[in-house]
Structure 1
Amino acid sequence: MREGISSQCPKRCFEKPQLNRALHAPTLGRRFAHGGWPGPVPQFHGDTMFKKAITCLAGGALLAAAGAVHAFPDKPITIIVPFSAGSGTDVNARDFAQALAGQVKQPVVVENRLGAEGLIAANALLNAPADGHTLIFTSSSLSVLDPLMKKNLPYDPARDFAPVCGVARIPVVLAVPASSSFKTAGEVVAAAKAQPGKFSFAHSSAALRLSGELFTQTADIKMLSVPYKSTVTALTDLAGGQVDTMHIDMAGGLPFFQSGKIRPLLIAGEQRNKVLPDVPSAAEAGLPDYRLLPWFGVFASAKTPPAVLQQVREAAEQALRKPEITGALERRGLDPFHLCGEALGKYQQDDIALSRQVVNKAGIVPQ
């Protein structure tokens, strides 16, 4: 394309005084302001210079536009993480950042923006230039649950975040103390039906609370919800028998499962997990609707130009499909989850709808 335009735009194309006057910006401005050409309309003969000049200008504009699109990324990329360094979200974000850097041949920096339960991180994304060079790597607590669990949220993730790619689903496990008499999820359900409200379930996040609420709703039982601010504290109390059950994500519970301090009974969703192959899925246990799973995803600002956003998605998907990424996720007990673009947006909307049903049925009031 460059050669074609250059061949129509020789240097002499712009050397005729008459043509320069014709294309002079103020002159053109007066032409359109007053409805008439200010002076004789220039005439060109032989090599049709005027047409060639217009072709040259139009072609140059197209090349400039094309160059602007294909320039991405032209500087380092920042990935915002709304959780602390060393957290499960942070560890997976850094693996993704490394893979993405290798894919786009630009540095990728992870920034932990803590505070206000994710609000600071969300604002950092939305206040940054919407050019694809600032992304957020977060769990579904921010992209799905915040609008349902928090009052007066100043942003809407479904409206203000553009889905890039999903990274991994986070299996949720129903667990009991190693000393518990419960050996199956069915035994928990039977006991809770026989004595409504006697047995408890612990949780340490909004996502895990909703998993617990959905379990009780699906099984049609009543259990006491016991909130904890710390996952480690909740697991310690579970191991000691202070609470009867707990809904815990795989990453948090795995060390306790491996040590034998707590016993996994059930994994939410339709399939077993490679890390705990002997633990049945909810579908196998007769609870197919117990399927609410937290997940990690990458988002950009919704104001990002579509052409740039598409390039971000393509680069992210290629990075996430690298064997070192999928292998690391699976070793941590996570399920690789590579929905991108509109497919991830639909999954997010469906997850919001299911979560809203659980919240409303449980009578949870936004705080």
Structure 2
Amino acid sequence: MKTYILAGALAATFAMTAPLQAQDTYPAGPITLVVPFAAGGQTDSAARVLADALQVELGQPVVVENRTGAGGVVGTQSVATAPPDGYTLVIGGPSTFVTQPLLSKEISYDAEADFAPIAIFAVAPMMFVVNSESPYNTLGDLISQGQSEELTYGSSGVGSSMHLGVEWFKSLTGTQAAHIPYRGSSQSLPALLGGEIDFLIDPPITALPLVEDGQLRALAVTALTDDPRLAEIPAMSDAGAEGYQQMIWNSIMAPNGTPPAIVGKLESAIETILAKPEFAERLQQLSLSARFIPSDELSAFLANERAVYGNVIEQNNISLD
């Protein structure tokens, strides 16, 4: 009988200590970083820059895997149901972790309950732009005109950050503007250049080259930034849309239930990486700025984003269903 009791005690002890030992040795093998968008885009490129740096910092391969479909939902959902052991992570952003879950009841994952936030590692404002031949030289000019007559604006589609961002701007300033959705910046920017619409909000990676080329005029950026190329452009909050702040951001998320020790190790590794000038330089080439927002602050940040966008969506009755 004593033999059985001893054996049972040893088995129980092993069962309790094995997960702790696994956390102590993490990572002991390759990590998969899921990008829920196609290869070659800004999100994918930023993920590969981070994966290269994490591989060096953690001493294990970090493999980027593109799992596309449904605007990022397919890849994100695959990580929501992955083992919470730190070996499957996902790149998170505004669409997959804030706006799409608010816009559609068909999303199969819970962006808040199914994931453990690790950190934001890259951010960028967007640019409020008009045609260079536009009569609007400042954001104030456009707001004044839009308060007396209806303007038009384009976006990358219904429910996109560009669409929701302008609707928020309208509610803050009383600007009247009709929405004309396009299928991405590749269509909306030519429409602006061709005089089909009055203005739009678009990321620097696509809008800035046209501003630098003299084809577009930047009236404002959607948030304060340390990108030197945007230093002379006023923030919308200082140019007539008080309280406005909208950012593109890239984060790392793990499945909910991932041990805090593993979350902490990944968070610490990302913080170390972001302190290196060469990492910031590589991100700047993608029109992104390195910025570390740790897991506890990320949770609060996400709650605020959901509150802001949720209010915009509800007020304007916007849905993807």
Question: What secondary structure does 1:236 align onto?
Answer: helix
- Determine the structure 2 residue equivalent to 1:18: none
Q: How many residues in Structure 1 have an aligned counterpart in Structure 2?
A: 319
**1:300/1:193 Cα in 2 relative to 1: closer, same or farther (>3 Å)?**
same
Flag the 1:360–1:155 CA change in 2: closer, same or farther, 3 A. same
Per-residue CA deviations over 1:31-59 (Å, capped at 9, x if unaligned) read: xxxxxxxxxxxxxxxxxxxxxxx9x9999
Percent identity between the aligned chains? 29
* Alignment map for 1:121-270 (pairs within 5 Å): 121-195=75-149, 197=150, 199-205=151-157, 206-270=160-224
Query: 1:76/1:241 Cα in 2 relative to 1: closer, same or farther (>3 Å)?
Result: same
3-state SS of the aligned residue for 2:237? coil
Q: Secondary structure at the match of 2:269?
A: helix
Q: 1:101 to 1:237 in 2, by over 3 A?
A: same
Is residue 170–residue 334 contact of structure 1 (8 Å, CA) maintained in 2? yes
Q: What one-letter code is carried by the residue in structure 2 that aligns with 1:25?
A: Y
Q: Structure 2: which 5+ runs fail to align?
A: none
Preserved contact between residue 101 and residue 110 of structure 2 (Cα < 8 Å)? yes
Match of 2:317 in 1: 363
Greater displacement, 316-325 / 202-211: 316-325
Q: CA RMSD in A?
A: 2.3
Unaligned runs of 5+ in 1: 1-20, 30-53
Q: Distance in 1 between matches of 2:96 and 2:55?
A: 25
More strand by share: 2
CA contact (8 A) 1:132 1:304 kept: yes
Code of the residue aligned with 1:114 in structure 2: it is T
Contact 2:118–2:253 under 8 Å retained in 1: yes
CA displacement at 1:323 relative to structure 2: 1.8
How far residue 61 of structure 1 moved from its aligned partner, in angstroms, is: 7.9
Which residue of 2 is the match for residue 305 of structure 1? 259
Q: Against the structure 1 CA distance between its residues 322 and 273, is the aligned structure 2 distance closer, same or farther, given a 3 Å change threshold?
A: closer
SS in 2 for 1:297: strand
**CA gap 1:312/1:143 in 2 versus in 1, 3 angstroms:** same
Look up the equivalent residue of 1:172 and give its one-letter code.
M
Q: Is the 8 A contact 2:35 2:75 kept in 1?
A: yes
Q: Partners of 1:311 and 1:286 in 2: how far apart?
A: 42
Who is 1:25 aligned against? 4
| Closer/same/farther in 2, CA of residues 70 and 202 from structure 1, 3 Å limit | same
Q: Given the alignment of the two structures, is residue 341 of structure 1 paired with residue 295 of structure 2, yes or no?
A: yes
Q: Letter of the aligned partner of 1:349 in structure 2?
A: A
DSSP-derived class of the 1:166 partner = strand
Bigger-Rg structure (1/2): 1
Partner of 2:35: 81
Match of 1:103 among 41, 57, 82: 57
Q: CA deviation at 1:152?
A: 2.6
Q: Report whether the alignment pairs 1:352 with 2:306.
A: yes
Q: Deviations over 1:268-311 (max 9, x none)?
A: 12457421222111122132222122311110001212222222
Once the two structures are superposed, what CA deviation does each residue of 1:313-349 show, in whole Å capped at 9, x if it has no partner?
2223222332222222234432322111111111011
User: Structure 1 residues 274 and 333, CA, compared in 2 at 3 Å: closer, same or farther?
Assistant: farther
> Which deviates further from its counterpart, 268-277 or 203-212?
268-277
Match of 1:323 among 256, 277, 302: 277
- Tell me the distance in 1 between the aligned counterparts of 2:35 and 2:197: 32
